[in-house]
Amino acid sequence: MSFMTALRHRWQTANSLVCVGLDPEPARFPTRFANDPDAIFAFCRDIADATAKYACAFKPQIAHFAALAAEPALERLVAHLKSAHPEVPVILDSKRGDIGSTARHYATEAFDRYGADAVTVNPYLGRDALEPFLDRADRGVVILCRTSNQGAGELQDMLVAGRPLYQHVAEKAALEWNTNGNVALVVGATWPEQLSDVRALVKDVPLLVPGVGAQGGDAAAVVSNAKTHDGTGLMISSSRAVLYASSGDDYAEAAATAARDLRDAINLHR
């Protein structure tokens, strides 16, 4: 099943627009993991197993593994997600972007080494640099458009031909580059106005929306401004607020409660 089909299916069957971000930070793990050499895998697995029923997607963030030389744990984690929760698509957050000959290797890394259903990428180099990703029609290509960070506007709001750059990215990526129907866009939850601008430009193209929870974005505003006509179209992603909801032995239950509460807060406004 393609990423887009799996995502649409999951929105319906789980009745959830929540994406659970898997950003392991061992310093924040419960003390029971202190002497566990497999802590990164085990912690992420426990969180994923506890939150799967509230998730429309999982999103492991690659730097959180690579910085700790824990790529093998990431490989095993994605394999676990695919076997234990095959109905929940996995988005590898690696924000890749390079010339085509190198991008081919990044696409192989995301889709074949890690087995991800989708990957985040940077559009700055232009369409040809994203072709190795876009050509994989069954996989999702999640393109940065208007990011959640404070400095997002520094370049992304620059006026080009009278309109902010992120609007050009939205149109090019979602309409022109999307010949296989496998494109989604990243727009931060911290920017409700820009979310509504992007939604107006890209019709029903899915948006990955990080920035609720730890970064302070408002889930209600995200849904009101960016849902599609059928009340879907969004992967509203939260990492730290779910992962580290408790530092005690109830970490998995607390994560499940945080994911369920986010799902419910979102669903109130769909």
Q: Choose which of 202, 238, 256, 262 interacts with ligand OMP (CB under 6 A).
A: 238
What is residue 218's three-state secondary structure? coil
Name residue, tokens 């492991």: 60
Choice among 53, 59, 82, 95 that is catalytic: 95
To ligand OMP, the closest distance from the beta carbon of 93 in angstroms equals 4
To ligand OMP, the closest distance from the beta carbon of 62 in angstroms equals 9
The neighbouring-strand residues paired with 20 are: 58, 238
Name residue, tokens 């069957």: 13
Name residue, tokens 């929540």: 18
- Six-digit token pair at 133? 């990703």
Helix or strand holding residue 160 (H, E): strand 159-160
Beta carbon nearer to ligand OMP, 41 or 83: 41
Beta carbon nearer to ligand OMP, 60 or 132: 60
Cβ count near 103 (within 10 Å) = 20
Cβ count near 230 (within 10 Å) = 11
Are the C-beta atoms of 139 and 114 separated by less than 8 Å?
no
Q: State the Cα angle at 183 between 44 and 49, rounded to 5°.
A: 20
3-state helix, strand, coil in the chain (%, to 5): 50, 20, 30
Under rule CB under 6 A, residue 51 binds ligand OMP: no
59 is catalytic: no
Question: Which residues in the 196-235 window bind ligand OMP by CB under 6 A?
Answer: 210-211, 213-215
Q: Choose which of 14, 52, 186, 235 interacts with ligand OMP (CB under 6 A).
A: 186
Beta carbon nearer to ligand OMP, 4 or 121: 121
Interface map 84-103 toward ligand OMP (x if CB under 6 A): ---------x-x--------
Q: Choose which of 132, 164, 188, 192 interacts with ligand OMP (CB under 6 A).
A: 188
Residues annotated as catalytic are 95
Which stretches of the chain bind ligand OMP, using CB under 6 A?
A: 21, 23, 61, 93, 95, 120, 147-148, 186, 188, 210-211, 213-215, 237-240
